[in-house]
Amino acid sequence: MNFFDYHHFPVYSIMVLFLGAFLIVLMGKNKTVRNIIAFAAMACSVACMLALFKPVMLEGEIISYWMGNRSIAGGYAIGIALEVDALGLFFGLLISSVVFVAGLYSFQYMSHDDNQQQYYTLFLMLAGGVMGLVLSGDIFNMFIMIEILTFAAVALTAFRNQVYGALEAAFKYLVVGSIGSTCILVGITILYAQAHTLNFAQLSLLIPGNLNNATKLAFALLYIGFSTKAFLVPFHPLAADAHGAAPASVSVLISGVLTKSGIYGIIRLTYFLFQTMGLGSMQFMLVFVGCVSMFVCVTMALAQHDFKRLLAFHSISQIGYVLTAVGLCTALGISSGLYHAMNHTLFKGLLFLAAGAVLHETGTTDLGKLGGLSKKMPQTTILFLIGAFSISGVPPFNGFASKWMIYQATYQKAVESGNIGFLLVTVICLVTSILTLASFVKVSQSVFFGQLPKEYENVKEVGLGMRFAMGLLALACIVSGLFPELVTTYITEPAAAAVFNVGNYISAMGFDGSAVAAGTVSFESVGVWTPVSWLLVLCIALLAITIVALAGKYDRVSAHEGGETVDTKYQLFYGGEENVFSQVGGDDLFWGFKHNWKGYFNFMHDMHSGIVNDYALWAVVALALAIVFTQIVL
C-alpha cells in the first residue's frame, strides 16, 4: 500500500487535525511542543489539499475513498466513505488555508491567555470537523462532523469566559445550534428510512425521482439545519453574540469556515441530494433568504457600536450575497457565488484579525471608546483598510470582482427569466454594497482615524507574527482581486462544473449516474473589467501627478515637531471654541441616513431582544415555514 498515493490525501487532511488535537491534549503542556504540533497539523492539512488541486480541479477527477476497504454490497453503499469533487475541494482548500492563517495568528494573539492547551485542542477539533464535513461522502458522517464542530465552536465562543457576555453567547449558540443539529439528525433519519442508505451519491440517485411527503419534510429539516450553521436570517443574532465574545482567531473560523460549511451543506442539499434547483420556487426561496440576510444584516451592522459585532453582521450580509448568487442556478451565478465565498473568507478573516489586533493592544472593541489608532498602529491600519475596501467592493480589490459578477448574474437572470423580481435583487445587491462601505467608513473613522483618546497614547503596533498572518490574507485579497480571470478559470469554474454535473459525482462512487442530466458551465460576461490595466493606468496617472505636485513644492509642509506645547497653528480648528477632546464616531455617524429609517431601525432594535427564547422561537417559526413551503412547492 502506497501511503503517498494522492487518493489517501483527503483522509489525511482530516486525520492530521484530529491527531494534532489529541496529541496536544497528551503532551501539549510545553508551549513550544504545542505550537509545533498545531503548526504541523495545520500545515499538513493545507499541503494535502494543495496536492489534490491538480487531479481534482484541473483534471476533473472525483476521488472516492472507502474507510476500511469496504465497498458497495448488494446494491447499497454502507460504510464510511469520503468523496472529493471539485466543490468539496474548493471548500476544503479554503478552509484549510484560513485555519492555517488563523493558527499562525493565534500563536501570538493567544499568548497571554490561560488554558492554551485546551484552546488549541478545540481549535483543531473545529478545523477537523469542518474539513470532515466538506470531504465526507455520506450524510451521517456529515452529521457527526457537524456535532463536533458545533460543540468545539460553542466551547471556543465561551473560551474567554471572563469576558462579559461570553457565556451567554455560548449558551445562545448552544441552544439554537442544537435545534439546527437536531433538525439535521431528524432529516437524515427520515432519508435513511425512505432510501435505506446514507451514502450521498446513492441518495442523490434515489431521492430526486421519488419525492414524497416524508422526503419533503426531510428537505425542510436539513435546510433549516444548514442555515443555522450559516447563520442565515433568522439565525443571525447568534453570530453577532458569538463573534463579539470569541477570541478574534476563533471569529475568523466561525465567520470564514463555519458559515461556509452551512453554504456547502445547502449547495449539496439543493443541487445534489434533491436536485430541486430547476424549480423557480426553490430559486425564489434561496434568493429571497439571501437578499433578506444581505439587507437586514447590513442595516444591523450600521447600527452596531462594537467592532466585532459589526463584523459579525457583515459576515452574514456577505453570506447573503453568496446564497443569492448560488440560488440563481446559472453558471455565472454559482461561479460568482463561490468566488464571493472565497473572497469573503479572505477579507473577513483579515478584518477579524485586525479587530483582534486592536483588542490585543487596547483591550476594547467599543467603537465609542477608540479612535486615532492609525498613528500608533500604521501597518494594522493599512491592512484593515485593504480588508475594508475589499468587503465594500471598492475596485480593484477582490470583493469588487466577485460582487461585480454577482450583479451581472442577477441582472442576466432577470433578463433571461423575464422576472422583474430579479431586477430588485440586483438593486438590493448594489445598495447593500454601498451600505457596507458606509459602515466601514464608520469603523475607520471611529477606530483608526479621528482623535486619539488619552488612555491609548502608549499603544504599540502588534507583533510581527500577527502582522504576518494579516499580511498573508491582505495579499490574497489583492491578488484574487487583480486576477479574476485566473480565479474563475482554475478555481470556481471547476467547482461550478461539479455542481452542474451531479451524474459524475454519483458515478464516481460506483453507481450509474448517467441518467442525471449534465449541465455546462460556459458563460459570457456581459461586462468588462480588467483590473491590471486599470491599475497600470492609475499608477501612471498617480506617478505623473505626484511628480508635478512635488515639482510644485507639494511637500513644502510645516508639521509640528514633538515637544509638549503645540503651536496653535498646528492645533485642530475649533472655530474659536475651547480645544477639547471631541471624537466623532460610534453609532451616530450616519445619523442622516438612520433618521429617515428610524421606524425600521426601532423595529429591528425591538426584534433583536437578545433573549434566547425569542431566537429559539424564530428557529421554530422558520422551520414551520420551511416545512409548509416545501410541502407546497416540491
- Asked if residue 600 binds other proteins (CB under 8 A), the reply is no
User: In the complex with other proteins, which residue's Cβ is closer, 530 or 602?
Assistant: 530
Distance, CA of 312 to CA of 304 (rounded, Å): 10
Distance, CA of 298 to CA of 293 (rounded, Å): 8
Among residues 67, 584, 611, 617, the one that binds other proteins under rule CB under 8 A: 584
- Asked if residue 602 binds other proteins (CB under 8 A), the reply is no
Q: What is the largest CA-CA distance in the chain?
A: 89
CB atoms closer than 10 angstroms to residue 118: 16
Distance, CA of 5 to CA of 55 (rounded, Å): 12
User: In the complex with other proteins, which residue's Cβ is closer, 159 or 384?
Assistant: 384
- Asked if residue 571 binds other proteins (CB under 8 A), the reply is yes
Which range in 81-89, 171-179, 563-571, 610-618 contacts other proteins by CB under 8 A?
Answer: 563-571
User: In the complex with other proteins, which residue's Cβ is closer, 25 or 549?
Assistant: 549
- Asked if residue 578 binds other proteins (CB under 8 A), the reply is no
User: In the complex with other proteins, which residue's Cβ is closer, 161 or 571?
Assistant: 571
For residue 537, give Cα distances in angstroms to 435, 477, 530. Answer: 28, 20, 11
Which range in 411-419, 465-473, 479-487, 496-504 contacts other proteins by CB under 8 A?
Answer: 411-419
Tell me which residues in 286-325 interact with other proteins (CB under 8 A).
none
- Asked if residue 333 binds other proteins (CB under 8 A), the reply is no
Tell me which residues in 205-244 interact with other proteins (CB under 8 A).
none
Q: Is 562 left (phi over 0), alpha (psi -120 to 50) or beta?
A: left
Among residues 32, 591, 599, 613, the one that binds other proteins under rule CB under 8 A: 591
Distance, CA of 498 to CA of 58 (rounded, Å): 12
Q: Is 393 left (phi over 0), alpha (psi -120 to 50) or beta?
A: left
CA 62 from chain center: how many Å? 25
Question: In whole angstroms, how close is the CB of 251 to other proteins at the nearest point?
Answer: 25
- Asked if residue 449 binds other proteins (CB under 8 A), the reply is yes
Question: In whole angstroms, how close is the CB of 452 to other proteins at the nearest point?
Answer: 7
Contact pattern for other proteins over residues 358 through 397, marking x by CB under 8 A: -------------xx-xx--x--x---x---x---xxx--
Distance, CA of 345 to CA of 294 (rounded, Å): 16
- Asked if residue 540 binds other proteins (CB under 8 A), the reply is yes
- Asked if residue 129 binds other proteins (CB under 8 A), the reply is no
Question: In whole angstroms, how close is the CB of 602 to other proteins at the nearest point?
Answer: 16
Size of the site for other proteins (CB under 8 A): 82
Which range in 31-39, 436-444, 492-500, 512-520 contacts other proteins by CB under 8 A?
Answer: 436-444
User: In the complex with other proteins, which residue's Cβ is closer, 211 or 535?
Assistant: 535
- Asked if residue 564 binds other proteins (CB under 8 A), the reply is no
- Asked if residue 415 binds other proteins (CB under 8 A), the reply is yes
Among residues 27, 67, 542, 621, the one that binds other proteins under rule CB under 8 A: 542
Question: In whole angstroms, how close is the CB of 277 to other proteins at the nearest point?
Answer: 21
Among residues 75, 553, 606, 613, the one that binds other proteins under rule CB under 8 A: 553
Question: In whole angstroms, how close is the CB of 355 to other proteins at the nearest point?
Answer: 18
**Per-position DSSP letters for 234-260, written without gaps between them:** TSHHHHHHHHHHS-HHHHHHIIIIIHH
Distance, CA of 461 to CA of 464 (rounded, Å): 9
Among residues 582, 602, 609, 631, the one that binds other proteins under rule CB under 8 A: 582
Tell me which residues in 492-531 interact with other proteins (CB under 8 A).
526-530
Residue 154, all three cell numbers: 460553542
Residue 58 amino acid letter: L
- Positive or negative, the CA dihedral 102, 107, 389, 50 is negative
- Asked if residue 589 binds other proteins (CB under 8 A), the reply is yes
Question: In whole angstroms, how close is the CB of 527 to other proteins at the nearest point?
Answer: 4
Distance, CA of 497 to CA of 267 (rounded, Å): 13
Q: Is 308 left (phi over 0), alpha (psi -120 to 50) or beta?
A: alpha
φ, ψ of residue 159 to 5 degrees: the values are: -60, -45
Among residues 573, 578, 606, 613, the one that binds other proteins under rule CB under 8 A: 573
Which range in 51-59, 250-258, 349-357, 569-577 contacts other proteins by CB under 8 A?
Answer: 569-577
Distance, CA of 506 to CA of 203 (rounded, Å): 9
- Asked if residue 628 binds other proteins (CB under 8 A), the reply is no
CA 17 from chain center: how many Å? 20
Instruction: Give, for 65, the enclosing helix (H) or strand (E).
Output: strand 63-66
Burial track 406-431 (b if 16+ CB lie within 10 A, e otherwise) = bbbbbbbbbeeeeeeebeebbebbee
- Asked if residue 423 binds other proteins (CB under 8 A), the reply is yes
- Asked if residue 408 binds other proteins (CB under 8 A), the reply is yes
- Asked if residue 347 binds other proteins (CB under 8 A), the reply is no
